[in-house]
Amino acid sequence: MAETGNGAPQGGAAGNESQQPTQPRMQVLGQFIRDLSFENVLATKGVQGEVQPDVEVQVNLDARKRSTPNQYEVYTKFTITSKNKTGDGVLFILELDYGGLFQIENIPEDQLHPFLLIECPRMLFPFVRRIVADLTRDGGFPPLNLENIDWVVLYRQEIMRRAAEQQQQQGGGTA
């Protein structure tokens, strides 16, 4: 009975095999620190006593196609400023530009940009988090463990920022 069958399960299996090459595929080929800066302002000021940090995190994203087919570079730039709540000024400034090299296949063109700026940074983030925690600890502060980021919201904000910037440039050219 299993040998003869009615053809439906076999047709379904064959259909899955022919569709398999079109499944989205992402491979991390490499990841790296492109630029890193940690300015320990507190150490240079010689501030002593109780420090109550107030942390501000800014994230910028960028993606570029490489000359090799289906390969992309994705960069996450973190600027982290910690200020003392008591008003003593800046404690530290950390700038980290972290990149990844990705092989991406079978993503429709209209979905590629969001994929690059949402899914790829999501893959890089655990490594960024570790680097930030290690740097702040090595700088004499408690390790700063970054909270999870909603990459979809960040992507939408980036699109709105770029649209506003483009509109401003177009408006500036006609004035």
Q: pLDDT for 22-43, tens place per residue?
A: 899 999 999 999 999 999 987 7
pLDDT value at position 130?
98
Q: What token pair was written down for 106? A: 């079978």
The predicted-structure confidence for 43-83, as pLDDT tens digits, reads as follows 776 656 666 778 999 999 999 999 999 999 999 999 999 99
Q: Write the Ramachandran bin of 110: left for phi over 0, alpha for psi from -120 to 50, otherwise beta.
A: alpha
* CA–CA distance, 166 with 97 (Å, rounded to integer): 24
CATH number assigned to the domain covering 31-159: 3.10.420.10
Question: Where do the structural domains in the chain lie, given as residue ranges?
Answer: 31-159
Angstrom distance (rounded) from CA 156 to CA 159: 5
8 Å CB contact between 92 and 41: yes
Task: Give the whole-angstrom CA distance, residue 81 versus residue 43.
Answer: 15
Say what the pLDDT of residue 41 is: 87
Mean pLDDT, residues 11-29 taken together: 68
State the pLDDT at residue 20: 54
- 91-139 pLDDT, tens per residue? 999 999 999 999 999 999 999 999 999 999 999 999 999 999 999 999 9
Based on C-alpha coordinates, what's the Rg of the chain?
Answer: 23
CB neighbour list of residue 159: distance below 8 Å, 6 or more residues apart: none
What pLDDT, on the 0 to 100 scale, is given for residue 69?
94
The CA distance from 71 to 65, in Å, is 6
96 forms beta bridges with 36, 78
